[in-house]
Structure 1
Amino acid sequence: MVDVAVILGSASDRAIADKAIEVLTKNNVSFELQVLSAHRNPDELDTFVKKTDARVFIAIAGLAAALPGVIASKTSRPVIGVPVSAKLGGLDALLSIVQMPKGVPVACVGIDNGDNAAHLAVRILKVGQ
């Protein structure tokens, strides 16, 4: 069983994922890393979300940043969105992530703040312990 699935919408977001991975590793939290776009790989993303036993998702995405919301629409497990500063200083991605419809919650951390996403995932995993 893996604790956290870190999903990047693009391989170019790897530096932000590395921040999250560093925090997860320091906290002895198991994780898996995938590059799956909500737009370019929708079927593969759907299959991954259904098959993984991850307890929390960290979704890193820029521009339209649909990835966190799409993941949240497919699972009841917690999803943490990390907006990427690709265009418009990352405000486009930030607004896309925080403006989820009712019933499809996504937590959102600051722009390019992969480490805070991992810190939040660690806290979520500790609930009930």
Structure 2
Amino acid sequence: MAVENAPVVGIIMGSESDMPAMQPCMDQLDAFGVPYEVKVASAHRKPAVVHEWASTAHQRGIRVIVAAAGKAAHLGGVVAAYTPNPVITVPMKTSDLGGLDSLLSMVQMPSGVPVACVAINGAKNAAILAVQILGAGDDAARRQIIDFKESMAQ
């Protein structure tokens, strides 16, 4: 039995410092009325925590995951290895290479472990894509996207 207002999108980021860049994702999900949960855990510093969170996400009712990370940016791929859910990655802008390092790490996933990837600091688009994915099997989510796109055209 589904719990009303239970999170259906999981957001995970590698560091608290990613929170401001991910705020547009949360704001957009709020605007759509889509409940989500947020976790901060590094694939490198807290791999056991990431494993536990990702491998149980579908059991908690999470249907889509958004993973944000910078530099080596392995978080999205590690999460994708442990979940049957679609994973959308958000490469964080970095001081070293402007986020290109993060982007390239995310789009070079091995066969069998896919992730979708949005632009560097593309948190808002990650939320929109998450709701589009939800909309493939949920008329209310699909209606949110239809209305959103119609409002952009005005």
TM-score (norm. length: structure 1): 0.97
**Residue type at the aligned position of 2:78:** V
Identity, % of aligned pairs? 47
Poorly superposed stretches of 4+, deviation over 6 Å: none
Tell me the residue number matched to 2:129. Answer: 120
Distance 1:60 1:10 in 2: 9
TM-score (norm. length: structure 2): 0.81
String of CA shifts for 1:84-127, please: whole Å, max 9, x gaps: 11120100000000000011000000000100000000000000
RMSD of aligned residue pairs (Cα, Å): 0.9
2:92 to 84, 87, 90: 84
Q: How many residues align?
A: 129
Task: Answer 1 or 2: which has greater strand percent.
Answer: 1
Distance 1:82 1:37 in 2: 14
Structure of higher RCO (CA pairs closer than 8 Å, 6+ residues apart)? 1
Distance 1:50 1:83 in 2: 22
Tell me the residue number matched to 2:147. Answer: none
Tell me the residue number matched to 2:33. Answer: 28
In structure 1, runs of 5+ residues without a counterpart are none
Distance 1:56 1:126 in 2: 11
